[in-house]
């Protein structure tokens, strides 16, 4: 993470995933786990674990996840 904005995005990804909102946003947008995993550059099981609050998103994948969720929520 290079900027304060990156940190904001990581904390956003963590808040959405731990609250269950990330999964709700993904499902409402009609996006699949494999599609989200591909965009974030992680495995399907990683996105699943984020959505189940078993793991916390970190680093660049978390930034990509937060951006993806924001875009999906706008649709």
pLDDT tens digits, one per residue of 15-60: 999 999 999 999 999 999 999 999 999 999 999 999 999 999 999 9
Mean pLDDT for 58-67 is 97
Q: How many domains does the chain fold into?
A: 1
- CA distances (Å), 71 to each of 29, 32, 46, 55, 68, in order? 10, 15, 20, 22, 5
pLDDT score, position 9: 96
CATH code, domain carrying 51: 1.10.260.40
Range of the domain at 50: 4-74
What is the token pair recorded at 2? 């290079």
pTM: 0.92
Confidence class for position 12, pLDDT limits 50, 70, 90: very high
- CA distances (Å), 50 to each of 3, 15, 62, in order? 23, 10, 10
pLDDT score, position 1: 64
């Amino acid at each position: 993470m290079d900027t304060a904005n990156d940190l904001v995005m990581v904390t956003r990804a963590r808040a959405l995933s731990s609250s269950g909102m990330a999964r709700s946003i993904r499902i409402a947008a009609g996006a699949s786990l494999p599609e989200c995993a591909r965009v974030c550059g992680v495995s399907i099981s990683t996105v699943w674990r984020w959505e189940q609050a078993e793991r916390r998103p970190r680093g660049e994948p978390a930034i990509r996840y937060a951006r993806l969720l924001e875009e999906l929520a706008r649709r």
